[in-house]
Amino acid sequence: VPWALHAIRGKGQAAAAQVSRNDAAWDERLEELRLFAQGNGGLANVSQRDPERPGLGTWCVHQRNMERRGDLRPDRKARLVEIGFPFDPLEDSWDESLEELRVVAAGNGGVAHITRSDLERPELGRWCNEQRIFGRKGELRADRKARLLEIGFVFSLQGEAWEKSLEELRLVAESNGGTAHVLRNDPERLELGRWCATQRTLEERGDLRADRKARLL
């Protein structure tokens, strides 16, 4: 019957149009994720908690759920893998902690470090300590170590103390019109004064690491 064939054909065309729209929307999200990864050290994952990209974060979770159920199309999975998308929930959790630390560092003068005693971020502090322990034991994956170093993560305890002193000096400078200097005999900041004197001595002997000198300058 002609009218029946016309109706069937119309439904088929509508379904094809819907598939095309879905594919286009998916492609847009993938491209958005790819661009995000390019600007974030290859991190092809966005957390649902990301206030700037809540839609993309939800999309990432949806792809992970689809893959776990076996409902993710092979071609889509291949394209996600190609840009480094993490399907493992544990990988996802690690990436979220790294991103949280990166945000903290961006607002903290590049200091990518949180202590276990940080009352505002106790979980992130414990995570940082775990990465340090894994690194000391040689159990931290090379790609993860590289990504931590890329954002300035401090692995050694001596490095941790140096970062704390640098941050203390930065706060002093902010409250003193940009003067990042504390005298050795400053009664209010004896430890910081001695630290500043040590950095100066190391620089005079040529023993101050180049990256540390750059951050002090």
Q: How confident is the model at residue 4 (pLDDT cuts 50, 70, 90)?
A: low
Q: C-alpha distances in angstroms, 212 versus 99, 193, 201, 209, 217?
A: 24, 17, 13, 5, 9
Residue 11's pLDDT is 59
Amino acid identity of residue 161, one-letter, is A
Burial of 144 (0-12, 13-18, 19+ CB in 10 A): middle
Residue 112 three-state SS:
strand
Smallest Cα–Cα separation from 162: which of 205, 196, 136, 190? 196
pTM of this prediction? 0.44
Residue 33's pLDDT is 93
Residue 78's pLDDT is 94
Q: Which residue has the tokens 């029946």?
A: 4
Give the span between the Cα atoms of 58 and 69, in whole angstroms.
17
Smallest Cα–Cα separation from 34: which of 26, 25, 24, 44? 44
Q: What is the mean pLDDT of residues 102-128?
A: 78
42 φ, ψ (degrees, to nearest 5): 85, 5
Give the span between the Cα atoms of 214 and 196, in whole angstroms.
15
Q: How confident is the model at residue 25 (pLDDT cuts 50, 70, 90)?
A: very high
| 117-149: pLDDT as tens digits | 677 888 888 888 888 888 888 888 888 899 898
Which residues, at least 6 apart from 76, have a Cβ–Cβ distance to it below 8 Å? 26, 63
